[in-house]
Amino acid sequence: MANIIPFKAVRPTRDKVSLVASRSYQSYTLEQRESRLRDNPFSFLHIVNPGYKFDKQISGEARYNLVRNRYLEFKEDAIFVQDEQPCYYVYQIKDRDHQVFNGIIAAASAEDYENDSIKKHEDTIEYREIIFKDYLKTVGFNAEPVLLTYPDNDVIAQIIEQVQEERSEYEFTTTYRDTHLLWKVEDDLLIQKISHEFQNMETLYIADGHHRSASSYLLYKDLKANNPEHTGKEPYNFFMSFLIPESDLKIHEFNRVITDLNGLTKEEFLIQLDTLYRIENRGLLPYHPSKNHHFSMYLDGEFYSLYLRKKSYEIQTSLDALDSQILYKTILQPILGIEDLRNEDRIGYINGKKDIVSMKSAIDHGHYRVGFGMVPVSIEEMKTIADDGLKMPPKSTFIEPKLRCGVTIYEF
């Protein structure tokens, strides 16, 4: 049973939402951040990058406190206002590729995360969880929802369609040509119906935001332990989420690029590959695999297709069958010497939404020596691995939609 509840969002005013909304801080280059901070005083980047005001890089607790100050200033200046009653928020994204994503922004339960009603499929890094937990504790808000997915549900779909017949609260298009729309769901009957449908769902799955959800869970544990009057209804018992049906989820692969051949010559490398793979040189023609256990490789200006020799690789678990795991177990670890995928600086990742030529370009420019491509993970694979209590290698999925920060904010 999923405990999904409405909440009183802090939101930009209608006239400023397009100016406030930003991508995640890390997704901008230094030049892009500087441009937005210089030219747009309403950007949410001013809150998460408070040192810009002082022309100084600030980190740690000092930065967290300044983030809190900038946030309060946005509220004091009425750039942000808080809704008077708890609402669900229907959210739609139409991207430049004409894909449409519909879902509901709501608060998800940390207890559901704890008891595995909200399932995970990806490992997290402990120190990142702790850093973000400390950040949340100081700033007192979350501005970027965790992406959760649920089985397609006719009742929720009909409610979303009904709500979208009305004028949206927000409608704005970004410089990346993605159009965002938001509707408030205030009607008590609709709120009850939505809550009821989620309560009847046995399991939800984290699609994107494993570190954010893990940090919110750690914050919940800390604040619960230090509150002798804990009731379970406090805001810290929940974290902001964007819930979309499984059919709306778009999963891309992450291509792997490696800086060197681990001391091997090209010929020695290909000979070792031949033990586990049937190799075909595709020449200059870009090759992208079309089925599981097939991989593309780019090396020395040429594309190759790699087909796994199934008799030489044993599949015992759902994780063993995952292409990113197969690549790690058959090539990256034993041949190229990549042991720690999270901390090894010899490996890079290029999301599969970009053309495979992006991988070729990175190698041709000398940044890497060899690259590997694969087909995207399916929603069924992702769910099976989560249900089995296993974790994918890092960067196994690049998942859409991607929300903007600062459109809805959850306070605790």
The answer to whether residue 176 scores a pLDDT higher than 90 is: no
Cα–Cα distance between 185 and 191 in angstroms, integer?
A: 7
pLDDT tens, position by position, 106-141: 999 999 999 999 999 987 778 889 999 999 999 999
Give the pLDDT score at 27.
Answer: 82
Q: What's the pLDDT at 99?
A: 92
Closest-CA residue to 113 (of 205, 199, 196, 243): 205
pLDDT digits (tens, 9 = 90+) for 375-392: 999 999 999 999 999 999
Whether the CB-CB separation of 309 and 315 falls below 8 Å is answered with no
pLDDT of residue 151: 96
Q: If you average pLDDT over each of 54-58, 80-84, 357-361, 399-403, which comes out highest?
A: 80-84
Structure tokens at 101: 């994503």
Q: How far apart are CA 197 and CA 207, in angstroms?
A: 20
At 7, phi and psi to the nearest 5? -150, 165
> Contact, 347 vs 256, CB < 8 A?
yes
pLDDT above 80 for 202: yes
> Within a 13 Å sphere around the CA of 131, how many CA atoms are in the beta-carbon half?
9
> What is the per-residue pLDDT for 394?
85
Name 247's Cβ contacts closer than 8 Å, sequence gap at least 6: 152
The Cα–Cα gap between 355 and 357 comes to 5
**Mean pLDDT across the stretch 232-260?**
96
Read off the pLDDT of each residue in 290-312 and give the average, rounded to a whole number.
95
What local confidence, expressed as pLDDT, does residue 56 receive?
Answer: 87
Reading the block at residue 311, the tokens are 């008799």
> How far, in Å, CA of 216 to CA of 201, rounded?
22
Question: pTM above 0.85?
Answer: yes
Could you give the domains of the chain?
4-251+400-411 (no CATH), 254-375 (3.30.1760)
Q: Is the pLDDT of residue 342 over 80?
A: no
Q: How confident is the model at residue 357 (pLDDT cuts 50, 70, 90)?
A: confident
pLDDT at 30 over 80: yes
| Average pLDDT taken over every residue of the chain | 95
Q: What is the pLDDT of residues 36-90, one digit of tens each?
A: 999 999 999 999 999 998 888 899 999 999 999 999 999 999 999 999 999 999 9
CA distance 377 to 398: 9
Going by the DSSP 8-state scheme, the letter that residue 409 receives in this structure is B
pLDDT of residue 197 exceeding 90, the answer is yes
Quote the percentage of the chain above a pLDDT of 90. 86
